[in-house]
Amino acid sequence: MSQSHIIPLTDFGKLLAQRGLIVSIITTPRNFTRYSAAIAHAASTGLQIRMIPLEFPGDEAGLPRGCENMDSLTSMDLAPEFFAACEMLEAPLLKLMAELRPRPSCVVSTNALPWTQRVADSFSIPRYIFETISCFTLFCSHVLSLDSTQEMIAAAESDSEPFLVPDIPHRIELTKAQMPHQAKKKSSDNNIETVIDQIKKARSFSRATLVNTFEEIESGYVEGYAEVARALWCIGPVSVCNKRPNEKLDRGNKASIDERQCKSWLDSKEAGTIIYACFGSLCRISAAQIKEIGLGLEASGFPFIWIIRDASLTAEVVEWLEEKNNSLEERGLIIRGWAPQVMILSHASVGGFLTHCGWNSTLEGVSAGVPMITWPMFAEQFYNEKFIVHVLGTGVRVGVGVETGSGKGDEKGAFVKWDQVKRAIEELMEGDEEGRERRRRAKELGERAREALEEGGSSYRNIMLLIQDVEQQVMELGGRPLLEETLA
């Protein structure tokens, strides 16, 4: 349960409901409060979609009160307890599903909840894995997990020595320092290792894998991963289902800025001139790094919208922002907390996206047709940077060389000075031939992203194949046609 999983799953639920299905989204009380507005908007249009809360046993697992989402954990050291609490939801979910009417026809869950396979098996219904990362990352991770590749990685003399990812469509180099922690070596935490093993085993029992991407953007990697996955359907980018203003506004937390104020500020700027800077819901950025980001945005000379999440708003940061208030506000809009990202990115005045390269943000930038400045911090974000810069050709690197994990920003190669931020912005926004080609590519990809989910598009067709697959299994079990039943 994190923003990067719940938000796209909610969007996907809306896409299914638009096909005439009944969709039940199961979450916990605090997440219910966060995301219920989006479901209420969808239901008000006649879609048969609902959100049902289950009590979260955080206290039993030893979590602080109120920790029901990864971004609410006071420390990532609590991740094992968080996963343990999630698994305790199995019995309550079994009870809930037994009482649902109409009866469930299948389960869709992310790979972070492998125990939901047992729930689906209990009702003799299929489970589909919803992947919140790209086929590029899935395929590269598979290739890098092979024994022969592991030997090559182990032979690297240092964490910064680059190696070539073998047997993939593009020339991609990585270093050990850029790989997700669990891909580099065994975790010292047996609980996390157990979760990873469960994820791998549950993947082999699932009916199919649904990936939040579209075939046209990474066809070679879709084909590559399809050869090792049981079945694979690209069903994204799911964020494009949000077309009305209230849908773009109410995704995730309540926005920390009034919609009219935000739109008015955006409307006041020329087309393609604004830099939108946002680093996701989990990145913890040090006060020193926050200051360098602000100074770089200011020095670039471009108008900007800068999102600083609550966890980064330390007393030192707040004091610095107050000191810099006049000079920063002359050029930029600073939003402290949560921002309506899809609404902002889709505005014509936004010309560049300074991003941590989370896959949701990457897809939202692609769908908006906006080129990106890449600043990966941890997990698979370096893979996404390689994809944006070297495969799509729509990105400029800020120059980070290593994973920061918690985003402390004080590790060698991770701390970015203000002049690096300024240089990357200027390179992205400049109007030379390379810059124009980057913008042309971004715009073209945005059009293809939207077309994928229109009737006849590749992702539209794949969603229909999913529905037909579930219906076939319902009929084999003697049930009624799916559109008379439900998709849970």
Instruction: Provide the residue type at 41 as one letter.
Output: H
| Residue-level pLDDT at 325 | 80
Q: Model confidence over 201-260: pLDDT tens digits?
A: 888 889 999 999 999 999 999 999 999 998 999 999 999 999 888 888 777 667 778 888
DSSP classification of residue 308: E
Domain spans of the chain, in order of start: 3-236+453-484, 255-449
Q: What distances in angstroms separate CA 472 from CA 103, 205, 327, one per listed residue?
A: 16, 18, 62
Which amino acid, residue 405? G
- Give the residue with greater pLDDT, 102 vs 281: 102
Instruction: Tokens for 309, please give them.
Output: 């999440």
- Tell me the torsion sign for CA atoms 19, 43, 256, 264: positive
Q: Is the pLDDT of residue 50 over 70?
A: yes
Q: Mean pLDDT throughout 354-371?
A: 97
So what CATH class is 3-236+453-484? alpha beta
Please state, in angstroms and rounded to a whole number, the distance separating the CA atoms of residues 96 and 478.
22
Please spell the DSSP secondary structure of 262-294, one letter per residue. Answer: HHHHHHTS-TT-EEEEE-TTT----HHHHHHHH
Mean pLDDT to the nearest integer, 440-445: 98
Q: 453-457: long-range contacts at Cβ-Cβ below 8 A with a sequence spacing of 24 or more?
A: 453/15, 453/214, 453/236, 453/237, 453/238, 453/240, 453/241, 457/214
3-state helix, strand, coil in the chain (%, to 5): 50, 10, 35
Which range, 182-196, 359-373, 408-422, has the best average confidence (pLDDT)? 359-373
Shared fold status for 3-236+453-484 and 255-449:
yes
- Residues sharing a CB contact under 8 Å with residue 462, sequence separation 6 or more, in sequence order: 233, 234, 235
Q: Would the pLDDT of 107 be above 80?
A: yes
* pTM to 2 decimal places: 0.92
The alpha helices in 368-488, defined as continuous H runs, are: 381-386, 418-429, 433-452, 458-476
Higher pLDDT, 173 or 204: 173
Q: Rounded to the nearest 5°, which phi and psi values hold at 166? A: -80, 155
* CATH class for the region spanning 255-449: alpha beta
CA distance 320 to 311: 16
